[in-house]
């Protein structure tokens, strides 16, 4: 390579270096959102949304899981965190056990959109090997509800992005997050024990069902025996096949959400009552019929999750 070529290379590298850092936003100690609006690109893997990033130089992806309460929890099965301290144990809604650890400091977490957190304190971690084994081997951990406290967000699977908007009285009035959008329905939801699990009333061909929104699930349906017999007899719930893990998949017709919007779902997992015991206990669910509204539902729309006003907007693609 000639001296002129080296000079050109140095200029290009300098432009790249300074351009990257000019757009970077660096925050200290606590991984929470800042600013009026922030966009994160997402990657879909088996229906689960992931946000790419790096932790202490280890690159990978965080699952964006609204069902997870903590702001950020790291996968210490992938990331070397030698000073972690065991705090307790946990269990996922799907029944996976894991250790919950705490880390006094984490040097750096950075995202591809330029958001960087440094010198983080009291960061949770766990041995999330089940995410590596069953979903993606480079799973860095979870991004959960407390990461975006004080924000609403718009989730767009087709354009592969999630946009966060800071909640304010002015935004409640102008609703700029709906600019240019076709609103199909505005769904009112409730919370019970935990603030990160919106719940909504559903009916399937006249049978009452409690729906729970969660980006960290594909979708499932659990019915008591009388309801199951009625809906199968009406052919509103039909077996459509099995997935790669051998779970029974359903097509569900004549579903109405919050008395406002009718739809059909395909590829929803059939669950037993036993299979829903964890989520029932954690969320104080006593209703006999339960549906998890995950990817199979959310992929049909752009959705806006407005926690402050207990509303989810369904927007047309």
Q: Give yes or no for residue 19 having a pLDDT over 90.
A: no
Q: What is the pLDDT of residue 21?
A: 38
Neighbours of 100 (CB within 10 A): 16
Neighbours of 186 (CB within 10 A): 16
Q: Give yes or no for residue 14 having a pLDDT over 70.
A: no
The pLDDT tens digits of the residues spanning 265-294 come to: 999 999 999 999 999 999 999 999 999 999
Q: Which residues contact 258 (CB under 8 A, 6 or more apart)?
A: 185, 187, 188, 189, 200, 201, 202
Region 175-198: what's the mean pLDDT? 96
What is the pTM for the complete model shown?
0.89
Exposed/middle/buried for residue 37 (C-beta within 10 Å: 0-12, 13-18, 19+): middle
Bridge pairing between strands 139-143 and 58-64:
parallel
Region 13-19: what's the mean pLDDT? 35
The structural domains of the chain, ordered by start, are 23-156 (no CATH), 181-315 (2.40.70.10)
Region 174-202: what's the mean pLDDT? 97
Bridge pairing between strands 161-166 and 37-41:
antiparallel
């Amino acid at each position: 390579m000639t001296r002129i070529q080296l000079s050109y290379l140095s200029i290009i590298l300098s432009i790249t270096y300074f351009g990257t850092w000019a757009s970077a936003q660096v925050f200290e100690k606590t991984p929470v959102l800042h600013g009026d609006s922030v966009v994160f690109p997402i990657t879909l893997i088996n229906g689960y949304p992931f946000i790419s990033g790096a932790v202490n130089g280890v690159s990978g992806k965080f699952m964006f899981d609204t069902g997870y309460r903590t702001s950020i929890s790291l996968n210490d099965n992938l990331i070397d965190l030698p000073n972690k301290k065991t705090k307790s144990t946990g269990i996922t809604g799907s029944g996976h056990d894991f250790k919950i650890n705490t880390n006094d400091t984490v040097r750096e977490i950075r995202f591809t959109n330029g958001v960087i957190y440094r010198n983080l304190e009291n960061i949770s971690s766990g041995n999330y090997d089940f995410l590596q084994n069953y979903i993606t081997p480079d799973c860095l951990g979870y991004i959960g509800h407390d990461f975006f406290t004080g924000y609403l967000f718009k989730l767009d699977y087709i354009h592969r992005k999630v946009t966060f908007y800071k909640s304010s009285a002015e935004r409640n009035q102008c609703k700029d997050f709906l600019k240019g959008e076709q609103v199909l329905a505005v769904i009112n939801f409730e919370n019970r024990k935990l603030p990160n699990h919106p719940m909504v009333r559903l009916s399937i061909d006249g049978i009452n069902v409690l729906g729970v929104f969660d980006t960290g699930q594909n979708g499932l349906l659990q019915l008591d025996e009388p309801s199951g017999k009625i809906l199968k007899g009406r052919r509103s719930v039909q077996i459509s096949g099995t997935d790669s893990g051998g779970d029974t998949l359903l097509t569900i017709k004549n579903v109405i959400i919050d008395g406002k919007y009718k739809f059909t779902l395909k590829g929803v997992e059939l669950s037993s009552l036993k299979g829903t015991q964890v989520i029932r206990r954690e969320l104080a669910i006593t209703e006999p019929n339960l549906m998890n509204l995950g990817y199979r539902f959310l992929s049909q729309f752009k959705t806006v999750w407005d926690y402050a006003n207990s509303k989810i907007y369904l927007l047309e693609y």
